[in-house]
């Protein structure tokens, strides 16, 4: 190697080192192994070490939603066309739990889940760059999504779902949960804007970009009690005493019969000794 070639090689190494040190914290990094990760622009990928798994059989009263979401994600894992999904409806009705149950219901190492906070939506293009070369099929999970008005985050999410010039990597699918069907806060109805309907239309246009929309509702009494009983069994407890009355009082105090209320009621019943 001539002196000039050696100098050029050294300059190349210096340039590469300078480039590496000047990268933003959110520069794409290869996702680590594992089926559950969280991601943020500043921290990159973080393995979920204590996964909050949910057994599909404990999800009572949402059989139609389970079948639809599981079937959609199975298509995605198989490489067939699949929809981005929005799970909306009553609080505690099982939306997030259903998403967390995916890894149990679909025990395929090709499927991986990465959770992204709503505050980090603007950084998702960086995340997509990191996921694209990975051989796994990635579900991007946005939990408890809301719409706070026109802004960078909503625009980024619209582009992510549908409508951008750059295509999204084929190995990515979006699943989001929200308490609102159209991601529209009630405050829009009382907005002081001159044309509040335009803000509502913009929010609805975001919800319309999800091909699969699944509603979750409060339970009727038999479904709620069946859920409590199923959770009692999972906790290794029978049906002590007048457990139904306790379970119904628990739901009444919280103003809703839901999967979350059923689990809480089961814990309350299991935490007390059986009546003599």
The CATH number of the domain holding residue 117 is 3.40.50.300
Q: SS3 letters for the chain?
A: CCHHHHHHHHHHHHHHHHHHHHCCCCCCCCCCCCCEEEEECCCEEEECCCCCCCCHHHCCCCHHHHHHHHHHHHHHHCCCCCCCEEEEECCCCCHHHHHHCHHHHCCCCCEEEEEECHHHHHHHHHHHHHHCCCCCEEEEEECCCCCCCCCHHHHHHHHHHCCCCCCCCCCEEEEEEECCCCCCCHHHHHCCCCCHHHHHHHHHHHHCCCCEEEEECCCCHHHHHHHHHHHHHHCCCCCCCCHHHHHHHHHHHHCCCCHHHHHHHHHHHHCCCCCC
Render pLDDT for 39-87 as a digit per residue (tens, 0 to 9). 998 889 999 988 888 899 999 999 999 999 999 999 999 999 999 999 9
> Is 17's pLDDT higher than 70?
no
Beta partners for residue 244, in sequence order: none
For residue 22, is it within any domain? no
The per-residue pLDDT for 37 is 95
State which residues form the domain around 136.
36-216
Q: Which residue did the predictor score with more confidence, 74 or 7?
A: 74
Least confident of 76-80, 157-161, 208-212: 157-161
Q: Is the pLDDT of residue 1 over 50?
A: yes
pLDDT for res 238? 76
Q: Decide if 11 is inside a domain.
A: no
Full-model pTM: 0.79
Same domain, 77 and 128: yes
Distance CA 201, CA 187 (A): 14
pLDDT band at 100 (very low <50, low <70, confident <90, very high): very high
Answer whether residue 171 shows pLDDT above 60. yes
Instruction: Answer yes or no: do 137 and 262 share one domain.
Output: no
**8 falls within a domain:** no
pLDDT digit string, tens, across residues 218-242: 999 999 999 999 999 998 887 777 8
Average pLDDT over residues 3-12: 58
Residues 92 and 229 both lie in one domain: no
- 158 and 238 part of one domain: no
User: Does 11 have pLDDT greater than 80?
Assistant: no
Count of structural domains, the chain = 2
pLDDT the model gives residue 229? 93
The pLDDT score that the predictor gives to residue 123 is 86
Residue 231 lies in a domain: yes
């Amino acid at each position: 190697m001539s002196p000039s070639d050696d100098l050029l090689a050294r300059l190349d190494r210096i340039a590469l080192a300078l480039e590496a040190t000047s990268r933003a914290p959110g520069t794409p990094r290869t996702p680590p192994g594992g089926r559950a990760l969280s991601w943020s622009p500043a921290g990159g990928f973080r393995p979920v070490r204590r996964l909050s798994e949910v057994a599909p059989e404990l999800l009572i009263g949402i059989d139609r939603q389970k079948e639809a979401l599981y079937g959609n994600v199975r298509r995605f894992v198989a490489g067939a066309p699949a929809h981005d999904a929005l799970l909306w409806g009553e609080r505690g009705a099982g939306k997030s739990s259903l998403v967390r149950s995916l890894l149990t219901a679909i025990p395929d190492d090709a499927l991986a889940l990465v959770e992204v906070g709503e505050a980090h939506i603007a950084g998702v293009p960086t995340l997509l760059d990191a996921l694209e070369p990975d051989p796994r099929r990635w579900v991007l999970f946005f939990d408890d999504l809301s719409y706070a008005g026109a802004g960078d985050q909503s625009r980024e999410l619209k582009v992510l779902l549908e409508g951008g010039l750059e295509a999204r990597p084929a190995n990515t699918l979006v699943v989001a949960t929200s308490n609102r069907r159209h991601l529209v806060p009630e405050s829009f109805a009382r907005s002081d804007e001159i044309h509040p309907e335009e803000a509502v239309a913009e929010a609805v246009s975001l919800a319309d970009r999800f091909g699969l929309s699944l509603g979750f509702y409060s339970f009727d009494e038999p479904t709620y009690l069946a859920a409590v009983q199923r959770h009692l069994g999972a906790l290794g407890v029978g049906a002590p005493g007048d457990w139904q009355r306790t379970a119904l009082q628990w739901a009444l105090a919280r103003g809703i019969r839901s999967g979350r209320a059923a689990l809480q009621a089961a814990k309350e019943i299991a935490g007390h000794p059986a009546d003599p």
